[in-house]
Structure 1
């Protein structure tokens, strides 16, 4: 896929991985539209980008998803890449019966249900472009959960399964590519609670995605995810689909 001259929408684009991707694609000559919940953070992020605008809104809320999609269709009809990056994650002790389900609900809504709905709202617009891409940011956690992030891992595993199905759905459409990015632990404010300071820089995720776009490589393992992906992907590809 071409890596310049695109119009790119990035959810969660005011910080972390989303901002790193925005910077990488902005520097390559793309029009960037970043989204986030906090207007002040969005405006701060815009100062680090060229040829970029922001749309404030919370994609975990259905009304906001619809509003943002309509604004993109009206004001930015040339959008041909969407990056579903906004996410929610909580340390969730399943032995604590007080709020485990509530945390899980927020994660599955933001990381899975919201992505499906928002993507469906923009699919027809993407299909009208000469070349388009849907990029879902999943996680190394899709391969193995743990006691610290069990419900987050489950929500990302659901996103992974959906992404595979979406890719199969449009497999015969040469104009639309469906990408999945598997970051390991990344050093962002988002991951600070789970030791993110020990993770890779978000720019590494952006660099790997950029190379994969150039190669039309729809599976994008990053860092520690590469070894796991190399072992498991050949096996899962043998499953009938």
Structure 2
């Protein structure tokens, strides 16, 4: 996949991984449009990334999505790459929480269903381009969930499965489907789960660009590859690694 002279949409691009992806893509010579819910963050991102285009909206809200799609048709008709990065997460205590259903619904909508909707609405535009791609930002927890992120992990597992099916379905149209799977990343998004111990978001962006250039469709960033290999050889051990505090209870 060509990594320059593209027109790229990055959802959730005003902070964290999305911001670093936008920064790297701009530096590589692409036109980049970022979205976000927070106007102040978008304004700060615009100041930090000269040349970036911004659009305020929530991918979970149908009216915002329709407005974004119309905006892209009107102002960025050369759009050929979508990076579905916007996400939402909650910490869980499945034993004691009483609002898991409501929180899980928002996670599933933002992290999975809204991606299906946006891809579907922008697919006609992608099909007009000589080269096009969709990038879904998943997570290491798609393979083995941490108990505190149970419903978030479930939404990412759904996204992983969908990404595989989408890759097969869009191949005849020549549209490439990538899945970006980071481990723990040091961002505000992951602060509650020890994000300070994670890798920098710049590393995610660097490995993403390298994988995009070589058509590496499943991008397992940093130690995610080693964890994936462990998962393939022993799903039980992978689950124990992800939940060390409960390892004894996981042994059958």
Task: Tell me how far 1:211 sits from its aligned partner.
Answer: 0.4
Would you say 1:208 and 2:207 are equivalent positions?
yes
Structure 1 runs of 4+ aligned residues shifted over 2 Å read 171-174, 228-234
Aligned-partner Cα distance in 1 for 2:131–2:114: 24
Say if 2:142 and 2:157, in contact at 8 Å, map to a contact too.
Answer: yes
Give SS of 1:118's match.
helix
Moved more, 77-86 or 94-103: 94-103
Q: 1:27, 1:50 within 8 Å by CA — same for their partners in 2?
A: no
| Matched position secondary structure for 2:107 | helix
State the superposition RMSD in angstroms: 1.5
Q: CA deviation at 1:229?
A: 3.0
Q: Secondary structure of 1:47's match?
A: helix
Aligned to 2:243: none
Check whether the contact 2:46–2:53 (CA below 8 A) recurs between aligned residues.
yes
Structure 1 position 220, deviation (Å): 0.3
Contact 2:180-2:219 at 8 Å conserved across structures: yes
2: CA distance, partners of 1:189 / 1:232: 28
Which SS does the other structure have where 1:2 is aligned? Answer: coil
2: CA distance, partners of 1:103 / 1:114? 15
Aligned-residue offset at 1:93: 1.1
Contact 1:58–1:65 (CA<8 Å) still a contact in 2? yes
1:146-201 per-residue CA deviation (whole Å, 9 max, x = no partner) reads 21100000000000011111001012333x11000110000000111111111000
TM-score (norm 1): 0.93
Structure 2, unaligned runs of 5 or more: 234-252
Paired with 1:27 and 1:49, the residues of 2 have a C-alpha distance of: 9
Larger helix share, 1 or 2? 2
Larger radius of gyration: 2
1:232 & 1:70 partners in 2: Cα distance? Answer: 42
- Per-residue deviation, 1:232: 5.6
Q: Distance in 2 between matches of 1:231 and 1:4?
A: 35
Equivalent position SS for 1:21: helix
For residue 191 of structure 1, give the secondary structure of its aligned residue in structure 2.
helix
CA drift at 1:209? 0.7
Question: Structure 1: which 5+ residue stretches go unaligned?
Answer: 235-241
CA distance in 2: counterparts of 1:173 and 1:230, whole angstroms: 31
Q: CA deviation at 1:230?
A: 4.0
Partner-residue secondary structure (3-state), 1:94: coil
Say if 2:144 and 2:231, in contact at 8 Å, map to a contact too: no
In the alignment, structure 1 residue 69 sits paired with structure 2 residue 69: yes
Deviation at 1:14, TM superposition (A): 0.3
Partner in structure 2 of residue 186 of structure 1? 185
Q: What TM-score, normalized by structure 2, do the two folds share?
A: 0.89
- Are positions 1:169 and 2:169 aligned together? yes
Deviation of 1:50 (Å): 3.1
Q: Report if aligned partners of 2:86, 2:110 keep a CA contact under 8 Å in 1.
A: yes
After TM superposition, give the deviation of residue 95 of structure 1 in Å: 1.3
What SS class does the counterpart of residue 5 from structure 1 fall into?
coil
Number of equivalences: 234
SS of the residue corresponding to residue 172 of structure 1 reads helix
| Contact 1:30–1:51 (CA under 8 A) maintained in structure 2 | no
